[in-house]
A and B are shown apart, each in its own frame.
Chain A
């Protein structure tokens, strides 16, 4: 008896040791800064002068500043474009990959490679590809008689362009979907085949429910990432060359937050913006989980 509890304690200690790097990292790089930024959001901190408490002035300013609302709206539109598009494209590519058989290892790597390219490099490259006058994308569209838009300069096309560019990095989801697709039991498909189900019916009634867990996970993480879109938007529309010509239509929330923090010396306000975004993402995620649980099939989970 005493031996067992000693063993338990020892194992417990070992377990904590193993996860210590994560705990330390979490406390130092996530929890601590979050607490600090919460405090800063109630101050007039400018990064230069000492911070003074200003009560809830920064939060009132969130409501008063029309660009907060504008940048939030831009971010929602972008997320609404990217999340469905990213999910469908990643799933389609994963299904192609699944069928490919022998060379799948090679293609799996190829599809994942873009995730490894720096977002800044990808942003700069897509600016060239999407150029409305001389870009390759419009040239190709031209072969089919389609007059492509000015993707990177027409205010109406800025957010769709950003969503398209973001597709570049769906490699991570492709890998997750591929794993999920490979886990769909073959006998379910065979049973459905015997019952005379066509490919569409099998996809809807067998594949989709069986991979719903993976879909659910990626939709949530994609939504969070989309709400926090920064690097590509910044490179494409706010880089050194673009800075002075950026349209408000491309102003996503994190870019405006960054501008407030480091261009307008309003770190306190930027912290308040960060907390607003945190709350918005939290609310969206809770809704997604509530709604999602009705549709998601958990293997070995309780019956829902």
Chain B
């Protein structure tokens, strides 16, 4: 019987934790406790897939450098339930790989440890990592994560559809919002209640921070306080809502979007289902496989009203959980996986793969700045497709100016608050009202997280 299976599972975990985990003592800082000595022993990793050549080559690099560390990695993306139950049962992984925007919350809760000892003990050069990435793993002056990839955004365009509609590539721009709305209307196609083509997809709700930032708002302040109903943020939400509403309205729009096969031959750009949208850099590596099937990609920069490229930064980080039994090896792993020499090996592996596939390199975007530049100079010499070249160049152009949301002890709640506000707004609530409510919820969570609640 299915009865109370879940309640039981939750409670079982709680019981276990009652016996073993609660009160589990963790150090104040992790890694590097024995300076100079090479780490040994077992290293248990959670949240890391790493199955492609970029992952595999770096795993090999670590194993070659630290042959006496026995690595076990239960592959798969970070799963909060899996991680927290492991932690509560007193059996946490030694190292965890998670999205950088989770770091603030996990650090505040004490689930992951500050890395001062790791950084000083193993001489991790944090100046090699991009500032925006470091910022997102730093809470109250302490570093809690070693940043890995660097995900940025630019506009990708289906040039064939655009050409057929008689619209210039330069019309796909975010500098002049009124003009973008007109362009969108020109490109949008429907047949009765069925959508045939989205003109420009603003990517709500997930890209709300990007639009707010491009409009000049800072939705999480430097001290981690939420600022969700900033007039500039409200304006950005109202504008993007309007883009969605003028293209069939949310429920239809989303249904249409849900049916996309993002990774397949019928991906939205190849199939002509979307003419343009802001998209992340990894996607060009997916799209490249469909050039032969007629995809004509083009790209423009996603900019603010002054024409300056704007992008949010995403990506993951390595963090050491409270109760990690081998913080030294964990620190060595985080350091090795993200240093320039290892990234070069990853690029070598990617190039080998690209050659084998008779394809071309679309760039490797890491949080390690010197590594990125070295890879770009060495390998990104020949992009035979001019549209792809423009896209790759646009991604690179955002790297130095891209920003991350400020970390906050109430990061998870602020995130939940704006997402739910955008969803409510998409369902019909006015932008101002939705964000006012979100701000109220987020403020309450923030003040509670700071111990004032």
Q: Is the CB of A228 within 8 A of B10?
A: no
Q: B356 at interface (Cβ–Cβ under 8 A)? A: no
Task: Select which of A50, A150, A225, A258 is within 8 A of B251 by beta carbon.
Answer: A150
A263 near B259 with CB under 8 A, answer: no
B196: nearest residue on chain A (CB-CB)? A133
* A267 close to chain B: CB less than 8 A: yes
Contact between A36 and B252, CB atoms less than 8 A apart: no
On whether A244 and B18 interact (CB within 8 A), knowing A133-B194, A225-B2, A228-B2, the answer reads no
Closest beta carbon of chain B to A45's beta carbon, Å? 7
CB-CB under 8 A from B206, the residues of chain A are 244
Q: Are A29 and B8 in contact (CB under 8 A)?
A: yes
Measured CB to CB, the closest approach of chain B to A171, in angstroms, equals: 13
Pairwise interchain contact B8-A33, C-beta atoms closer than 8 A? yes
**Chain B 226-253 interface 0/1 with A at a Cβ cutoff of 8 Å (1 = within):** 0000000000000000000000001110
How far is the CB of B423 from the nearest CB of chain A, in Å? 6
The contact of A50 among B4, B22, B416, by CB within 8 Å, is B22
Q: Which residues on the A side are within 8 Å of B165 (C-beta)?
A: none
Q: Which residue of A lies closest to B193 (CB)?
A: A147
Contact status B14-A45, CB under 8 Å:
yes
| B interface residues, how many (CB within 8 angstroms) | 52
Residues of B within 8 A of A36 (CB): 11, 14-15, 18
Does B133 touch A at the CB level, under 8 Å? Answer: no
B1-31 CB contact bits vs A (8 Å, 1 = yes)? 1111111101111110110001100000000
Q: Given A33, A132, A228, which contacts B11 in the complex, CB threshold below 8 Å?
A: A33
In the assembled complex, the CB of B44 is this many whole angstroms from the nearest CB of chain A, namely 18
Q: Distance in Å from the Cβ of A134 to the closest Cβ of chain B?
A: 4
Closest Cβ neighbor of B88 among chain A residues: A47
- Inter-chain CA distance A30–B11, complex, in Å, is 8
**A190 on the interface (CB 8 Å rule)?**
no
Which chain B residues border A152 with CB–CB below 8 Å?
A: 255, 258
Interface members, chain A 204-231 (any B CB < 8 Å): 221, 224-225, 228, 230
Q: In the complex, which of the residues B5, B14, B23, B420 contacts A271, with contact meaning CB atoms closer than 8 Å?
A: B14
Q: How distant is the Cα of A148 from the Cα of B406 in the complex, in angstroms?
A: 43
Q: Which of B54-90 contact A (CB under 8 A)?
A: 77, 80-81, 84-85, 87-88
Can you give 5 A-B contacts (C-beta < 8 A)? A30-B8, A48-B322, A244-B206, A244-B419, A267-B14
Task: Identify 7 new A-B residue pairs, CB closer than 8 A, beyond the known A133-B256, A277-B7.
Answer: A33-B12, A36-B14, A47-B87, A128-B259, A133-B255, A258-B81, A264-B412
